[in-house]
Structure 1
């Protein structure tokens, strides 16, 4: 299965003496597979160390931090010599052994010739708040579920993905129905690697649902296993409220939907825990569409999304028959799946941190604001072909942006100052926002 992150790993390897690389992402987004596949492709030898329930490795790293001692221990563990020139060291679930995380500082400072790739499911932030984290001594790579272009490639539609990469919209429009059908499948299947891989193999929607339910159950087990006991009920309530939050006309997160009378301070730790584990994405309101957007962040107003559109459709018990009903899927529960889908694609684009905007009265809302380098780009998401967008018109009249984007089921059309972008081409926004896409 193609993952764009492989190319990022190859760029990391090409550096003269790269710092240890830590791959962050939720459980089951494919971190272990990615590291092993990278080792297989790019190195003569790979040594894999999984730290979960590994007493031997825990003892090795809890000794002194002399790198020659650690390397000798790893050689004995693997049963072969480690040549730093052609060996990749993989440390998986590294948050399970905090001292292994600390050792990355010493590898970077005293033995930069070793190539080390690590992964953690972000549970470390909640598990080990006292861990000595090697700030400035590691590089990071974020891994998310498969993007729509990765899903198309997995489905054997590489040429379709390439058309969009080249921005050949004339030809892409000719095959719009194929793109729409693929997008429907993606809304239902999502980008969790196991669900996508099984769907590619069997085209069985029921099997996909079973896998998604199993993933959601595993996340619920993680709540009980890893989160502080007093926080677990609130994590569960907050997590289970997300489909209802996104089904509202105004998708701003309301604590009262979680529980009547609930207040922000009661759920602060639960929210932080879910975000640290990569299970939710917060998109904050910007009080003004000016650069840098971060400077205008409203800390109290935000929208909350899941990590994957397929998991959202599973939590919402979406019936697979809706796939057959024209384009009804895209408007299902007030377009919540469509907004989730767009946010999910934006998260995979390097250097883009989306915000949203509402006017003071709350009568106008722009779904996403993007930093375009020298301008703020408003992005309006429409779940159908009806392109009437009062909020976007209000925004453009007030702030006069050089570029505005409307993503919808309509065909590509580049008008003066307004780009109509098909939903299936949302990933091309990276290039338009001056980012790598």
Structure 2
């Protein structure tokens, strides 16, 4: 299974300004596999330490954080010498030993020759709680479920993903049924590595569903095990309300759907916890257009998307036979799956800040507005081949963006102000904008 993040890890390895690297992401998105795979590919030796229930490591880091002493202790634990030039040190579930997180500062300052990669399923929580290590002493790499292109490589082969990389849309149109079939599968399977691996090996949708149910059950257990006890019921209520929130025509998050009479201040901590875990993406509203978009963020209005489209389908009970019913898959839940899918791909692309837009009268809504750092790009999501762009036209008349994007099941087409981008090519949005 190929992950684009491997290329980022190679860049990190070769960087002259390399610092200890923290891979952030929700549980089961493949952080441990990625670190070990990178170690196998890029280093002569890998020393893997899992801090979960590891009393020996907890004791080692409990006292002095002198790097020479720590390395000696790790060598004794691993039973072999650590060569700073050719050994990758992997610290997994590092949030379980907060002092190990703190030690990264000293490795950065006093022993930068060591190559250290860390991860933890609930690292976002630990970092948010202010575990003591200074910002600026570590590098970060976000990891999400497999993107559609990574999924395509796994199920259809590198050639089809390569066509997307080259943006050969004429050739892509000749094989578009392959892309559409893979996209339908992705809507059902999603990008959780275990689910994708199972499908590649067995082609059994029922086995995929069972894996997704198991992952969802593990997330629910995390709520009780790791969240502050007073917000656990609220986390559950928020989490379970997401499918019904996204099924609405206007997908703005409504507290009243969580509990009648629900108010923001009751649920803010629960939403923050889910965001810090990487389990939900919070997409805030903007009511104007300018760089940076964050300056126009409306903190009171937002949409919540899940970490993975397959898990959303599992929670809503999406049936396997829906895959066979023409384009029914793309219209079910009023396009909720399609919008979830697009959000997920935009997050996987990289340095894109994602918002949505409505005007004050809510007569014009743009599903996503992204800030590339150089331009603001409105993106309208269509579940089928509907090519009306009323909201995009209204937005363009008001803000005059260089380019607007409409993504649907229609083929690629470039007009002077509008780019029609097929849903299966959403990840290419930045490259298409550069060509513009």
Partner of 1:325: 325
Partner of 2:69: 69
Alignment of 1:12-411 (within 5 A): 12-16=12-16, 18-123=18-123, 125=125, 129-411=129-411
Q: Contact 1:127 / 1:227 at 8 angstroms: preserved in 2?
A: no
Separation of aligned partners in 2, 1:29 and 1:291: 32
Secondary structure (helix, strand or coil) at the match of 1:357 reads strand
Q: Deviations over 1:2-29 (max 9, x none)?
A: 0000000000001235100000000000
Separation of aligned partners in 2, 1:413 and 1:15: 39
Q: Deviations over 1:72-131 (max 9, x none)?
A: 100110000111010000000000000000000000111110000000223452598252
Separation of aligned partners in 1, 2:178 and 2:246: 28
119-128 or 289-298: which moved more? Answer: 119-128
Aligned residues between the structures: 435
Inter-CA distance 143–127: structure 2 relative to 1 (3 Å threshold): closer
Structure 2: 5+ residue stretches without partners: none
Separation of aligned partners in 2, 1:14 and 1:191: 29
Separation of aligned partners in 1, 2:321 and 2:179: 19
Separation of aligned partners in 2, 1:160 and 1:8: 22
Inter-CA distance 210–120: structure 2 relative to 1 (3 Å threshold): same
TM-score by length of 1: 0.98
TM-score by length of 2: 0.98
Task: Return the offset for 1:399.
Answer: 2.0
Secondary structure (helix, strand or coil) at the match of 2:407 reads strand
Q: Contact 1:378 / 1:405 at 8 angstroms: preserved in 2?
A: yes
Q: Contact 2:377 / 2:405 at 8 angstroms: preserved in 1?
A: yes
Q: Contact 2:24 / 2:123 at 8 angstroms: preserved in 1?
A: no
Inter-CA distance 127–347: structure 2 relative to 1 (3 Å threshold): closer
Task: Return the offset for 1:400.
Answer: 2.1
Secondary structure (helix, strand or coil) at the match of 1:58 reads helix
Q: Deviations over 1:163-199 (max 9, x none)?
A: 1111100000011111000000000000000000000
Q: Deviations over 1:110-160 (max 9, x none)?
A: 111000000022345259825202311000000000000000111142111
Inter-CA distance 127–7: structure 2 relative to 1 (3 Å threshold): closer
Q: Contact 1:371 / 1:433 at 8 angstroms: preserved in 2?
A: no
Structure 1: 5+ residue stretches without partners: none
Separation of aligned partners in 2, 1:240 and 1:12: 38
368-377 or 132-141: which moved more? Answer: 368-377
Secondary structure (helix, strand or coil) at the match of 2:19 reads coil
Secondary structure (helix, strand or coil) at the match of 1:230 reads helix
Partner of 2:421: 421
Separation of aligned partners in 2, 1:123 and 1:142: 11
Secondary structure (helix, strand or coil) at the match of 1:231 reads helix
Task: Return the offset for 1:373.
Answer: 3.6
User: Which runs of structure 1 show a deviation greater than 6 angstroms over 4 or more consecutive aligned residues?
Assistant: none
Superposition RMSD in Å? 1.3
Task: Return the offset for 1:349.
Answer: 1.1
Separation of aligned partners in 2, 1:233 and 1:244: 18
Separation of aligned partners in 2, 1:170 and 1:195: 32
